[in-house]
Chain A
Amino acid sequence: MKTITMPSFGADMEQGKLTEWNVKPGDTVHKGEIIATIETMKGLIDMEVFDDGVIEQLLIEPGSEVPVGEPIATLRRLGDVAVEAPPVKAPLVEKSATPLQTDQAAHISSPPPETTATIASQPDLALSANQGHQTSPLISPAARYQAELQGINWGALPAGSGPNGAIVLADLERYIQADQQQLNVTTPTAAPRSIEQDVNTLKMRQAIAAVVSQSKREIPHYYLSHDISLTHALQWLKKYNEDRQPESRILINALIYCAIAKALQKFPAFNGFYQNNQFQPAEQVHLGNAINLRQGGLMVAAIHNAEALSPVSMMDKLKDQVIRAREGHLKMSEMQDATITISNLGDRGSDSILGVIFPPQVALLGIGRVREVAWVEGQHIKPVTIVSISLAADHRVTDGHDGARLLNKINKLLQKPEQLV
């Protein structure tokens, strides 16, 4: 019997909210299968199971928020004997369904005037809410139940269409619809989402703040930048893309990512974790791709074994990951495993980046804007398309000399794009 616990998606995570179970007791699961969706400050994350087996018990209800490490389910691994496990009860840390404050509850339970009670004449609950402390929004029991069931944080929803702005089922249905149309954010029905977004954005900002503060506090950064000519890479790309449909074409980014991954293989001191005053290089290169989210904030998703990917599969991974990150469907392993981070702000027009390392990683590579510059080659000035690749690295682990060699290696690989395939 194995107890499955609330996973940690980062050192800064203290608790997670189980949004949805994808399995029920009795289901057979295989390693890598997604068994639940967990909501953290970083967004929704799919939780994988690490063993083959049968789900015995689900110990917490969807909507429950429990600390990291708390049992959430039990799994009978293949080979385990089926036994009746003693029930493990996970205490709730903080329900998003906070009980009504007493003064507000008193208002609700006070009987309406004897003969004339109508919905409109019920006590003005909004007034009592305004007495110095925060309060949950009004929500009908049915809407609240549905919200909990669907893992919606109703405490952050905007006022609804019921009396005194109470959220009712119809509001929730509109909200869920708007949520599903989230990718088409311009539709007016998406409007009720705004407050929810604010809260999530706030949580995410807090998470980012914790990480970058720790980074700048503990990691002695040094910075290098290298202008790299993309003449050869673009020529190769042009030829490669010529006969292909737009959807199967490769973008220059895929080539750059491949070059970075392959270069890191040769410079393992930039690829790994610094923990307990000691650097541990990683065996594979899991490129952490910093993805900015439309609603604000960012997420780092790992591209596993990036050193082994061809530009074509790199392109696929990049596309797939951005879509999933924005929909909130990254896998746990993608959230945890990155051994180095790439920050690509070229699309936004910045020429280069002096990045902040994502601890416990030891380096961050920045990709700037792919741009035309006047380039001197031999005695000639000519227009050349270049990109500035920058490095922020942990001086405890490497020195500037190593960093310069890494950037130079990336440059060399990009001059022979055919070898990246």
Chain B
Amino acid sequence: MHNTVQEQLTYREAMREAIREAMLHDANVFLMGEDVGHYGGCYAVSKGLLQEFGESRIIDTPLSESGFVGAGIGAAMGGMRPIVEVMTVNFSLLALDQIVNNAATLRHMSGGQISVPIVIRMATGAGKQLAAQHSHSLENWYAHVPGIKVIAPATVADARYMLAMALADPDPVMLFEHVMLYNHKAPVPNPTDCPAMAQAVVRKQGPDITLVSYGGSLLKALEAAHALAEQQINAEVIDLRCLRPLDTETLFASVNKTHRLLVVDEGWRTGSLAGEICALVAEHCFWTLDAPPQRVCSQEVPIPYPKHLEEAATPQVEQIVTTAKQIMYR
């Protein structure tokens, strides 16, 4: 590795480096999932790892999410540090029972005796024309569940360094990788570019309106913030990074400063994480709000296959800009 500042790294490569580093660092770490070995992962994250670490640590599994996630949970209970890759969040529903009923509850039900230090990685989100069964953003479902932590690295630095934090956590951590981020490039990061796992980060400072986002929507929020800046609206952009637990301190500090909130969330509007954030802000920042908190979410339809409809169904920069201007009464 050449850690020069100019050298670029993609999100995909950063994630791969993170897995490599974890495996080199701890013999108890292994990667398991559909097509992670010979095929190199359906988003090519684990490409080359089988050759480097062998079949005992890079394990191709049958197409049975409930089975291999359950196996991962068992391994974690037995002292291993498994990284389980599920192709997409859509398929993770087959493992919902394992995750929600087992991984999330065992510490509680065993009176603290059993830890489940598993990391379950999966792709999420729309944008690649993969149609309704491969394009949804269901991370909020997991963020609803006590007993697990949910993170969504949105930058190359977070992709590179958040996995290690997730593995260090004694409890289950769900790690969501938005499909549109894999090709995103940035200069090779340093560990210092990645703050603590549960901390939200202000990606752009501004006094006028707080844009809250995470994962795949963060880049859109930042792009919208730059477009707004040209119209003399100086937005602050918060990257949540961790969807459970939420870093409300950073959120409230920003809203108390800007008096306005817009949440950008690719999840469906109803029952969304965006709704939770709006509710928290209404509860805690009511007297500093100068406008009703607003959300830009996905339309309440299964994500369509045609490109123009897929774009129309998911949050886009223009819509963020328009809504932000409405909140500013402009």
Determine the interface band of chain B, counting residues with CB < 8 A from chain A. 10 to 19
A161 lies within 8 A of B329 (CB): yes
Q: Tell me, in angstroms, the Cα distance from A168 to B329 when the chains sit together.
A: 9
Which chain A residues in 85-127 approach chain B with CB under 8 Å?
114-115, 117-120, 122
Closest to A120 in B: B326
Query: Given known contacts A118-B326, A163-B329, is B291 in contact with A140 (CB within 8 Å)?
Result: yes
Chain B residues near A118: list those with CB within 8 A. 294, 323, 326
Contact flags A274-300 to B (C-beta < 8 A → 1, else 0)? 000000000000000000000000000
A140 lies within 8 A of B289 (CB): yes
Stretch at the interface among A72-80, A141-149, A381-389: A141-149
Asked if A66 CB lies within 8 Å of chain B CBs, one says no
Closest chain-A Cβ to B305's Cβ sits at a distance in Å of 20
Query: Given known contacts A114-B300, A119-B326, A161-B329, is B290 in contact with A140 (CB within 8 Å)?
Result: yes
Closest to B327 in A: A119
Closest chain-B Cβ to A105's Cβ sits at a distance in Å of 14
A141 lies within 8 A of B287 (CB): yes
Chain A residues near B289: list those with CB within 8 A. 140-142
Q: Tell me, in angstroms, the Cα distance from A81 to B68 when the chains sit together.
A: 75
Chain B residues near A119: list those with CB within 8 A. 291-292, 294, 326-327
Query: Given known contacts A119-B327, A162-B329, A168-B329, is B300 in contact with A142 (CB within 8 Å)?
Result: no
B294 lies within 8 A of A141 (CB): no
Chain B residues near A120: list those with CB within 8 A. 326
A114 lies within 8 A of B270 (CB): yes
Closest to B292 in A: A119
Closest chain-B Cβ to A169's Cβ sits at a distance in Å of 5
A168 lies within 8 A of B323 (CB): no
B269 lies within 8 A of A114 (CB): yes
Chain A residues near B329: list those with CB within 8 A. 161-163, 168, 170
Q: Tell me, in angstroms, the Cα distance from A143 to B269 when the chains sit together.
A: 28
Q: Tell me, in angstroms, the Cα distance from A115 to B286 when the chains sit together.
A: 23
Q: Tell me, in angstroms, the Cα distance from A140 to B290 when the chains sit together.
A: 5
Chain A residues near B288: list those with CB within 8 A. 141-142, 145
Closest chain-A Cβ to B189's Cβ sits at a distance in Å of 37
Chain A residues near B8: list those with CB within 8 A. none
Chain B residues near A141: list those with CB within 8 A. 286-290
Asked if B66 CB lies within 8 Å of chain A CBs, one says no
Asked if B299 CB lies within 8 Å of chain A CBs, one says yes
B292 lies within 8 A of A142 (CB): no
Asked if B259 CB lies within 8 Å of chain A CBs, one says yes
Q: Tell me, in angstroms, the Cα distance from A170 to B287 when the chains sit together.
A: 15
Closest to A112 in B: B292
Q: Tell me, in angstroms, the Cα distance from A142 to B270 when the chains sit together.
A: 27
Chain B residues near A122: list those with CB within 8 A. 292
Contact flags B269-305 to A (C-beta < 8 A → 1, else 0)? 1100000000000000011111110100001100000
B300 lies within 8 A of A115 (CB): yes
Which chain B residues in 27-59 approach chain A with CB under 8 Å?
none
Chain A residues near B299: list those with CB within 8 A. 115
Closest to B256 in A: A142
A162 lies within 8 A of B270 (CB): no
Which chain B residues in 237-289 approach chain A with CB under 8 Å?
259, 269-270, 286-289
Which chain A residues in 151-200 approach chain B with CB under 8 Å?
161-163, 168-170
A145 lies within 8 A of B270 (CB): no
Closest chain-B Cβ to A319's Cβ sits at a distance in Å of 42
A143 lies within 8 A of B292 (CB): no
Closest chain-A Cβ to B37's Cβ sits at a distance in Å of 42
Closest to A172 in B: B290
Q: Tell me, in angstroms, the Cα distance from A144 to B286 when the chains sit together.
A: 11
Q: Tell me, in angstroms, the Cα distance from A117 to B288 when the chains sit together.
A: 22
B323 lies within 8 A of A142 (CB): no
Q: Tell me, in angstroms, the Cα distance from A141 to B323 when the chains sit together.
A: 20
B290 lies within 8 A of A142 (CB): yes
Q: Tell me, in angstroms, the Cα distance from A336 to B289 when the chains sit together.
A: 42
B326 lies within 8 A of A142 (CB): no
Q: Tell me, in angstroms, the Cα distance from A118 to B269 when the chains sit together.
A: 13
Chain B residues near A170: list those with CB within 8 A. 329
B residues near A (Cβ < 8 Å) are 259, 269-270, 286-292, 294, 299-300, 323, 326-327, 329
Cross-chain pairs A/B with CB under 8 angstroms, 16 sampled:
A114-B269, A114-B270, A115-B300, A119-B326, A120-B326, A140-B290, A141-B286, A141-B289, A142-B259, A142-B288, A142-B290, A162-B329, A168-B290, A168-B291, A169-B290, A170-B329
**4 tightest CB-CB pairs across the interface, nearest first?**
A142-B290, A145-B287, A140-B290, A119-B326
A115-B300, A142-B290, A168-B329 provided; 16 other pairs, C-beta below 8 A? A114-B269, A114-B300, A115-B269, A115-B270, A118-B294, A118-B323, A119-B291, A119-B292, A119-B326, A141-B286, A141-B289, A142-B289, A144-B287, A145-B287, A161-B329, A169-B290
